Amino acid sequence: MILLNFQLNLLLDTGSSDTAVASKSLQHVNRWFDPSASSTLLCSDLMQTVQYHVGSWRGYLCSDLLSFPNARGVANQTNVQTDLKIDFAIIDEAHDFFLPNNASGWEGIVGLGFPALSVPPTKPSASNFKPPTSRFSYLALNLFPTMSKPLGLFDNLVQQWGLPDVFSLLLCGLTKQNKHRYTLDGFRLRNSDDDLDFG
């Protein structure tokens, strides 16, 4: 994935919905997103702190444009976009999150799970407030509207590109009613290639 002009490898995680990228040289990170190089970066005064079974990260919640270099147009879609505005945290502190010697090969994480899995951002308390270290103090925390939880990557795709939310539909599962008919929460799929009914 390409964030601005930085090509970064991001771990795809179906068990979370938080997205974050390294923003500076951190232990076991060889590449990172440089906030000072982006003219479209907007950051809030909110921090996200995410703890996993092993490892954690912390950073300011920001938004910027994500590019998909190999994206192709969708049939019958006149205005094809290959850029997506996303919300993500700029990791400026991590503990046991990136693997030694960059064995992981990734510089961040993309959570593909439901938004309910997202860790809500919070305003840092005065006692543990650490100011941002780059991008002119993240453009003096050039604020974007505060939200209770950021949308995950998949939800941004659904919302901005008008894609059907098939991920949620597929998680509901198919039920077989007879040998030629399947239902999916009111949608009907027939057992032939020509006969697909989403009524």
Query: H helices of the chain, where?
Result: 135-141, 153-161, 166-172
pTM for this model (two decimals) = 0.64
The helix (run of H) or strand (run of E) holding residue 95 is strand 83-95
d(CA 71, CA 78) in angstroms, rounded, equals 15
Predicted local distance difference test score (pLDDT) of residue 141:
43
Separation CA 19–CA 59 (nearest Å): 11
Domain spans of the chain? Answer: 2-163, 165-199
User: pLDDT value at position 128?
Assistant: 54
For residues 16 and 55, is the Cβ–Cβ distance under 8 A? no
Q: Residue length, the chain?
A: 199
Q: Give pLDDT tens digits for 116-151.
A: 778 888 888 754 545 444 333 444 444 444 445 666
Tens-digit pLDDT profile for residues 36-92? 888 888 888 899 999 988 889 999 999 888 776 666 555 445 555 667 788 899 999
- CATH architecture of the domain with residue range 2-163: Beta Barrel (2.40)
